[in-house]
Copies of this chain bind each other. A is one copy, B any other.
Amino acid sequence: MARPRFASTDFLAAARALARQHGPAAVTVGSVIGHMGAPAGSFYYRYASRDLLLGELWLEIVLAFQKGFLAAIEAGDGLAAALHTPAWARENLEDARLLLLHRRRDFIHGDWPEALRNGVVRQEETMKTAVTRFAQATLGDAAPDNLNRARFALVEVPLGAVRMYLERREPPPPLADELIRAAYNAVIAP
């Protein structure tokens, strides 16, 4: 084989760097290979498409985020799950900006590549299951209103408390936690 100069992970790393700096839309095949001085052929030797690259990037980040969230839910601690967002954002500011300031469809517009579809579906369902479990355990049952209440407390409130800081590239301050805690307690009867 010809001397391998470019590994898959190199392309992924370049994509990540570009996405962090200029957003997912700026991750074009051209910008990626330009960023690392690789020819187009080398890219397509590793990745079947641009979508595959961006999809992998998103999935990797979302799964990393999810881990701590799920752990808290499984421990039955909803407040900890809600507070996981600012905590994770502090430790992973750049990835948090990527994940929380953009939508999934900013990474992949339209259908996901076959190779990733399973992973994405599993990710979605894992999240949905966690929220459902929380609703049942803490709110009594998984009636629609309870699911929405749970989702609000666990997902939307933390996101809202953190987004304004991420936009300024600042780690969420203690106030973010305080706001989340207050809203959580107000919405999830103790």
With an 8 A cutoff between CB atoms, is A25 at the interface?
A: yes
* 13 more A-B residue pairs beyond the given contacts A152-B179, A157-B157, A183-B183, with a C-beta to C-beta distance below 8 A: A145-B173, A145-B175, A148-B165, A149-B175, A149-B179, A151-B164, A152-B164, A156-B161, A156-B163, A179-B187, A183-B187, A185-B186, A186-B187
Assuming the contacts A186-B186, A187-B183, asked whether A148 and B160 have C-beta atoms less than 8 A apart, the reply is no
* Cβ of A149 to closest chain B Cβ, rounded Å: 7
Residues of B within 8 A of A48 (CB): none
- Within 118-150 of A, Cβ neighbours of B (below 8 Å) are at 145, 148-149
With an 8 A cutoff between CB atoms, is A2 at the interface?
A: no
State in angstroms the CA–CA spacing of A164 and B160 once bound together. Answer: 13
Q: Is the CB of A182 within 8 A of B186?
A: yes
With an 8 A cutoff between CB atoms, is A83 at the interface?
A: no
Q: Mostly helix, strand, loop or mixed at chain A's interface?
A: helix
Closest 6 CB pairs of A and B: A156-B160, A186-B186, A183-B183, A182-B186, A160-B160, A145-B175
State in angstroms the CA–CA spacing of A151 and B173 once bound together. Answer: 15
- Copy total for this chain: 2
State in angstroms the CA–CA spacing of A95 and B157 once bound together. Answer: 23
Residue of B nearest to A153 (CB): B179
- Within 44-58 of A, Cβ neighbours of B (below 8 Å) are at none
With an 8 A cutoff between CB atoms, is A87 at the interface?
A: no
* Cβ of A32 to closest chain B Cβ, rounded Å: 19
Residue of B nearest to A161 (CB): B152
The contact of A159 among B148, B151, B160, B173, by CB within 8 Å, is B160
Interface centre among A164, A165, A173, A182 (most CB of B within 10 A): A182
Q: Is the CB of B175 within 8 A of A164?
A: no
Residues of B within 8 A of A187 (CB): 179, 182-183, 186
